[in-house]
Amino acid sequence: MKKDAEVISSSVVRWYPLVAESGSGCIVKDVDGNEFIDFNSGLVVLAVGHSHPRVVKAIKEQAEKLVHYSWTDFYYKPIIDFGERLSEITPGAHSKKVFFSNSGAEANEAAMKAARWHTRNPLFLAYTGAFHGRTFATMSLTASKPVQRRHFFPLIPEVTHVPYPYCYRCPFRLEYPECNMWCVNFIEEEVLKKFHTPEDTAAMFVEPIQGEGGYVVPPEDYFQRLKKILDKYSILMVDDEIQSGMGRSGKWFAIEHWGVVPDIITSSKALASGLPIGVTISKSEIMDWEAGSHANTFGGNPVACSAGLQVIDIIKEEKLLENATRQGTYMMKRLKEMQQKYAILGDVRGKGLMIGVEFVKNLETKEPAPDEVIDVMNKCFKRGLAIITAGKSTMRFAPPLIITKELVDAGLDVFESAVKEVSAELK
Ligand SMILES: Cc1ncc(COP(=O)(O)O)c(C=O)c1O
């Protein structure tokens, strides 16, 4: 760690001293041989677990054949196969086009550029609390924590942020469902009709479940109503599934919980089980940009695409969407039971294996408890559970989709012991 501090940029966050050396399934092992149940999935990447044998085999076989041959200049088969398979599993029966890149931020950059090119409109809408990346364009959409923007201005100016449907902390201080979802009507009445002219707007970026912002789940009919408004004004919906996609929520893509078909979908993290890749998938007619208008060197690397093809097959054959739903439902049940016992657990929410538990100092005032959640996180680490937080004071539960009930129980036992201790210290 000392050497790391000498060599590595100080801009990255280190949650606790986990020095990973190897991983297998849902377990990550450190350099001292300590084993941790991995509720992080290496930051929501290892959906099929660490070093799944089929993924490792595919990587080896592809690496022996062809490691790279610049997809934007020449042809090779794995991008077509992977693009086709991704088009099949993303919502909507319409014809689709696929653009590959290397990361989530790049996938969103491509979506921004495609939306501007197609519509010829400059403006974007995004949410408060959103996280879409850290490049200059995507940082302009990101509105999660001040540290992500501080001292980096100017950003791209044409982004308006509207409140995310965060019912536990409604920005309008209203109650669902009596509110009749004013937050969605607000976008039309107070933004589009007053200053953010729809005829100049290219797209709205949405996270179907806000990830970095605190694992926030919008109400049941929210996205259906939002899509109607966007369609009314011919504004594209870009669905950022970089964290929530590839089965995390129990569906291939989380927006499916709302039955909405977005115009553009972006994904990354879990796509190739740890190899860098990002993807932007749109209705065919949207990606009508001219040759040379957007490209990169490494996107859609053949080794990553081969790994990705395995990820899709594994999720299907090992029935991981079903497992995510089953284990997630069980996890939510246990966490809700804990919520009854410990007053620092203010809210339990999630879908599939994308679950957030928001810590509060007081159940009435809902004052966030950022120190307490960090205390619990550190205690978990000392006891063999790797888990981190999101938003101001939310613990995020995102284990690999292959997790078993035994490991869910083992992890939750560690979590509960830490919550119990921190709760007792508060008294
Ligand atoms: C929803 C979402 N969008 C975009 C990104 C950015 O992805 P990357 O870090 O690969 O650039 C992330 C990363 O956490 C994310 O969660």
Taking only the tens place, the pLDDT of each residue in 116-156 is: 999 999 999 999 999 999 999 999 999 999 999 999 999 99
C-alpha distances (whole Å) from 146 to each of 84, 142, 153, 382 are 39, 10, 12, 29
Residue with tokens 């553009």: 264
d(CA 201, CA 123): 4
The verdict on whether omega for the bond into residue 53 sits within 30 degrees of 0, i.e. cis, is no
Atom of ligand 1 nearest to the CA of 103: 10
C-alpha distances (whole Å) from 423 to each of 43, 103, 345, 375 are 27, 39, 10, 10
Task: Give the residues surrounding ligand 1 with Cβ less than 6 Å away.
Answer: 103-105, 108, 131-133, 207, 211-212, 240, 242-243, 268
Query: What pLDDT, in 10s, does the model give residues 235-284?
Result: 999 999 999 999 999 999 999 999 999 999 999 999 999 999 999 999 99
Distance 104 CA to ligand 1 centre (A): 5
User: Taking the CB of residue 93, how many other CB atoms lie within 10 A of it?
Assistant: 7
Residue 308's pLDDT is what?
Answer: 98
d(CA 200, CA 35): 53
Residue with tokens 């590595």: 8
**Ligand 1: which of 268, 271, 275, 277 to mutate, judged by most atoms within 8 Å of the beta carbon?**
268
Q: Look at strands 159-162 and 123-127 and give their pairing.
A: parallel
Token pair of 45, please? Answer: 């990447």
Which residue ranges of the chain lie beneath pLDDT 50?
Answer: none
DSSP strands (E only) in 43-110: 96-101
Nearest CA, atom 9, ligand 1: 104
d(CA 401, CA 352): 9
